[in-house]
A and B are shown apart, each in its own frame.
Chain A
Amino acid sequence: MLEIRNLKASIDGKEILKGINLTVNAGEVHAIMGPNGSGKSTLAAVLAGREVFEVTGGEVTYCGQDLLSMAPEIRAREGIFLGFQYPVEIPGVSMVNFMRTAVNEKRKYLGQPEMGAADFLKLMRDRKALVDLDTSLANRSVNEGFSGGEKKRNEIFQMAMLEPKLAILDETDSGLDIDALKTVANGVNRLKNKENAVIVITHYQRLLDYIVPDFVHVLFDGRIVRSGDKRLAFELEEKGYDWIREAN
């Protein structure tokens, strides 16, 4: 599904990603771990198409297509979803209106008819329940006045609405208490199937107790320096990132 080869990216002339190689197949869950500043969020942003990052080398193939040549909204409609670490507030735009626009833009792109109001509201109700999202939040402006936990739950709710092929969750666990973490992980697990894939970016092993990865990668200084199964996460937890630092 996703094939990253020797991907390099920089911001303001400073190289952050120094040659990433990663293959993700349908049905897999990958965890990317690493210390602060190692390039985890940059990788997520580059895959989603954020323009402030300049891709300086390498290639990314997504479902047989050249991902890097696609506009961010096309990537989204093609099924890439980014769960933001810091979801931005958009005052004045209600969640309902926002989601309805997003869902219908995608349907239009895929040549499907727009979803009617009744079907749409039913879908919303359905998916809200999945992440235990407060019903009143849907009538508020996008992320405005949401607590940290509500924002993260709202990200997973949007993921549930858009049913992506590839979800990239950027530190979705940060700032969550244990109950919220379970709810969010539960939502992700229920959306998981053989057709889609998830990349979980996290600093701590804790989230991986609930979203169990098939593969764990350690990102350090812009490169993937270790890959393994979930035992690698435990090893990291035990030895700390200094272990990686010293080894590199």
Chain B
Amino acid sequence: MVPFIIAESHEIMNADQDQIISQVTQTEYKYGFVTDVESDALPKGLNEDIVRQISEIKGEPDWMLEFRLKAYRYWTTMKLPEWAHLKLPVIDYQDIIYYSAPRSRQPLGSLDEVDPELIETFNKLGIPLDEQKQLAGVAVDAVMDSISVKTTFRDALAGQGIIFCSFSEAVREHPDLVKKYMGSVVPYRDNFFASLNSAVFSDGSFVFIPKGVRCPMELSTYFRINAANTGQFERTLIIAEEGAYVSYLEGCTAPKRDKNQLHAAIVEIIAHTDAEVKYSTVQNWYPGDREGKGGIYNFVTKRGICMGDRSKISWTQVETGSAITWKYPSCILRGDHSVGEFYSVAVTNNHQQADTGTKMIHLGKNTRSIIVSKGISAGLSNNSYRGLVRVSKNADHARNFSQCDSLLLGDRCGAHTFPYIEVDNQSAVVEHEATTSKIGEDQIFYCNQRGIDTETAVGLIVNGYAREVLNKLPMEFAVEAQKLLQITLEGSVG
């Protein structure tokens, strides 16, 4: 079926009387350091042999290897999708290292066994792995390059039957759960990058919340790319059984490197009857330098399914990093009365490109979804919202509300909105609102006149604009996200 496009706005701000913008002096990316740890890596390139080696290094069972090989063979028949509003570079998939791991004595039983350099890395990132120093109420899984370094608080969580571990461990220790759910929401044939990930994924996080359990703390995975020329392909699987609740947060950074690096992840969420999963992302991969050199290519497939009645999945994302972002966290609303939410702030500056949004697929009766997307473009960047709301034949009384706002800073950036709406049920109510605005010279001057300099003024205004989304983040991270927004836009208004 061809999507019925009801609205497409395309706006590039003209040079006008506004005096804002001009000189762009990007602040240095704060997380651009490289950690000097020894790592074990496979040679560059991708073929069946590499896939087999990854599986072997990880000591995987045959069924896992079979899954990878099927995905790999399928991937070789696929082409890079071209529908996104992105200038996609040619990626040489034979020039990438698909597996790299910080060398360590295995297995890691306690923190003492983790390489001190690694602990230092995560300390620098503000993610202490020492449980004593943890933010109260947050358990962390730290993933560097291809493997999970350390998962905190697992024993405390295990007491309630909660499983929070690396994906590799889950394959070893909970094979039935992995077999049952992996690929059930994002099949290995789903798209080019999902197939690639399914073939070569190295690690990631696994979360299982048993029936009726409310996870007592935020669960968090922190992803770090360290090694050069390495792709990061992680997989996250979250299962909330009947009546369970969990709030999960991921954060990510990478060193500054001249060459682009590929990140292609998969996140799958399954929410059973009356379960609720909140998934928050603060994405701060290295965006490249001011001239657009280097940076992470971020191609991610995130999808959740509300399997049971009255289940709920909520995506919140703050996207400030990456040279290219291609990402559409989606909800399949299968259970009756199930709810899907998507709250997004996407900021692009300099030469960054983002094509991001969501899909809300209404299958069950009385299903509801809400989409709030706030795009902020500065510099020479391009920022697109792309979203699909589909109401299927049986989804009686489905409701959707979408709000897509764009904020432009300067006269050389672009903001684009591509909402697709497909409705096959007469009782559906679908609303879409969109606005485009810019920070006016008069607003900046008003702030200046009260003693607030231009950088701070832009920060105030942008945070105000994004408040509705930032408020959805867990407290500790909302503050971080606010700072991040400001840092990302520093120097974008002169």
Chain A residues with CB under 8 Å of chain B are: 48-52, 71-73, 76-77, 81-82, 84, 87-88, 90-94, 97-98, 101-102, 105-106, 109, 141-142, 158, 162
A72 B443 Cβ-Cβ under 8 A: no
With the chains together, A50 CA to B447 CA distance in Å? 12
For window 418-445 of B, CB contacts with A under 8 Å fall at: 440-443, 445
Which chain B positions have C-beta within 8 A of A84? Answer: 446, 449
A105 B456 Cβ-Cβ under 8 A: yes
Name the one of A81, A92, A105 contacting B461, with C-beta atoms under 8 angstroms. A92
B456 A93 Cβ-Cβ under 8 A: no
Given contacts A102-B447, A106-B451, list 19 more A-B pairs with CB under 8 A. Answer: A48-B449, A50-B445, A51-B19, A52-B441, A71-B448, A73-B447, A73-B448, A76-B451, A88-B440, A88-B442, A90-B447, A90-B460, A92-B461, A101-B452, A101-B456, A102-B451, A105-B453, A141-B464, A142-B446
Q: A76-B451, A102-B450 are in contact. Are A90 and B456 (CB under 8 A)?
A: no
Q: A98-B460, A105-B453 are in contact. Are A90 and B446 (CB under 8 A)?
A: yes
B441 A162 Cβ-Cβ under 8 A: no
B122 located at the interface, meaning its Cβ lies under 8 Å from any Cβ of chain A in the complex: no
Within the complex, the shortest CB–CB distance from A151 to chain B, in Å, comes to: 12
Which chain A positions have C-beta within 8 A of B23? Answer: none
Which chain B positions have C-beta within 8 A of A109? Answer: 451
With the chains together, A52 CA to B20 CA distance in Å? 11
Name the one of B448, B463, B467 contacting A72, with C-beta atoms under 8 angstroms. B448
B465 located at the interface, meaning its Cβ lies under 8 Å from any Cβ of chain A in the complex: yes
B14 located at the interface, meaning its Cβ lies under 8 Å from any Cβ of chain A in the complex: no
Name the one of B19, B441, B443, B454 contacting A90, with C-beta atoms under 8 angstroms. B443
B451 A87 Cβ-Cβ under 8 A: no
B17 located at the interface, meaning its Cβ lies under 8 Å from any Cβ of chain A in the complex: yes
B467 A98 Cβ-Cβ under 8 A: no
With the chains together, A158 CA to B454 CA distance in Å? 19
Count, chain B residues at interface, CB 8 A = 24
B464 A90 Cβ-Cβ under 8 A: yes
With the chains together, A90 CA to B413 CA distance in Å? 22
A101 B460 Cβ-Cβ under 8 A: yes
Name the one of B450, B454, B466 contacting A162, with C-beta atoms under 8 angstroms. B450
Closest to A91 in B: B464
Secondary structure at the A interface, as helix, strand, loop or mixed, is mixed
B445 A93 Cβ-Cβ under 8 A: no
Q: Provide 29 A-B residue pairs closer than 8 Å at the C-beta atoms, listed in order of the A residue.
A: A48-B449, A49-B448, A49-B449, A50-B445, A72-B445, A76-B448, A76-B449, A76-B450, A81-B449, A82-B449, A84-B449, A87-B446, A88-B440, A90-B461, A91-B464, A91-B465, A92-B463, A92-B466, A93-B460, A93-B463, A97-B464, A98-B452, A101-B452, A101-B456, A101-B460, A102-B447, A102-B451, A105-B452, A142-B446
Which chain B positions have C-beta within 8 A of A82? Answer: 449
Name the one of B446, B452, B463 contacting A88, with C-beta atoms under 8 angstroms. B446
A98 B450 Cβ-Cβ under 8 A: yes
Closest to A12 in B: B17
With the chains together, A92 CA to B470 CA distance in Å? 12
With the chains together, A101 CA to B447 CA distance in Å? 10
Q: 7 smallest A-B Cβ distances: which pairs?
A: A92-B464, A76-B451, A72-B448, A93-B464, A102-B450, A77-B451, A106-B451
A73 B452 Cβ-Cβ under 8 A: yes
Within the complex, the shortest CB–CB distance from A245 to chain B, in Å, comes to: 31
B461 A73 Cβ-Cβ under 8 A: no
Which chain B positions have C-beta within 8 A of A142? Answer: 446
Which chain B positions have C-beta within 8 A of A98? Answer: 447, 450, 452, 460
Name the one of A51, A72, A92 contacting B465, with C-beta atoms under 8 angstroms. A92
Name the one of A52, A105, A141, A162 contacting B17, with C-beta atoms under 8 angstroms. A52
With the chains together, A85 CA to B452 CA distance in Å? 19
With the chains together, A143 CA to B454 CA distance in Å? 19
Which chain B positions have C-beta within 8 A of A77? Answer: 451
With the chains together, A103 CA to B453 CA distance in Å? 12
Which chain B positions have C-beta within 8 A of A162? Answer: 450-451
With the chains together, A84 CA to B461 CA distance in Å? 19
Contact with A along B464-493 (1 / 0, CB 8 A): 111100000000000000000000000000
Q: A52-B441, A97-B460 are in contact. Are A72 and B19 (CB under 8 A)?
A: no
Which chain A positions have C-beta within 8 A of B446? Answer: 84, 87-88, 90, 142
A93 B461 Cβ-Cβ under 8 A: yes
A52 B19 Cβ-Cβ under 8 A: yes
Within the complex, the shortest CB–CB distance from B350 to chain A, in Å, comes to: 24
With the chains together, A93 CA to B452 CA distance in Å? 13
Within the complex, the shortest CB–CB distance from B117 to chain A, in Å, comes to: 37
Which chain A positions have C-beta within 8 A of B443? Answer: 88, 90
With the chains together, A71 CA to B453 CA distance in Å? 9
A73 B460 Cβ-Cβ under 8 A: no
Within the complex, the shortest CB–CB distance from B84 to chain A, in Å, comes to: 29
With the chains together, A102 CA to B460 CA distance in Å? 11
Which chain A positions have C-beta within 8 A of B454? Answer: 73
Which chain B positions have C-beta within 8 A of A52? Answer: 17, 19, 441
Closest to A142 in B: B446
Q: By CB atoms of chain A within 10 A, which of B449, B456, B461, B465 has the most?
A: B449
Which chain A positions have C-beta within 8 A of B461? Answer: 90, 92-93
A92 B467 Cβ-Cβ under 8 A: yes
Within the complex, the shortest CB–CB distance from A2 to chain B, in Å, comes to: 16
Which chain B positions have C-beta within 8 A of A87? Answer: 446
Within the complex, the shortest CB–CB distance from B461 to chain A, in Å, comes to: 6
A73 B451 Cβ-Cβ under 8 A: yes
Which chain B positions have C-beta within 8 A of A93? Answer: 460-461, 463-464
With the chains together, A142 CA to B450 CA distance in Å? 12
With the chains together, A98 CA to B443 CA distance in Å? 12
With the chains together, A91 CA to B454 CA distance in Å? 17
Which chain B positions have C-beta within 8 A of A73? Answer: 447-449, 451-454
A158 B450 Cβ-Cβ under 8 A: yes
Q: By CB atoms of chain A within 10 A, which of B17, B450, B466 has the most?
A: B450
With the chains together, A72 CA to B460 CA distance in Å? 18
With the chains together, A223 CA to B449 CA distance in Å? 25
Q: By CB atoms of chain A within 10 A, which of B447, B454, B465 has the most?
A: B447
With the chains together, A106 CA to B456 CA distance in Å? 13
Closest to A94 in B: B464
With the chains together, A82 CA to B448 CA distance in Å? 11
Closest to A90 in B: B443
Closest to B446 in A: A88
A72 B441 Cβ-Cβ under 8 A: no
For window 8-37 of B, CB contacts with A under 8 Å fall at: 17, 19
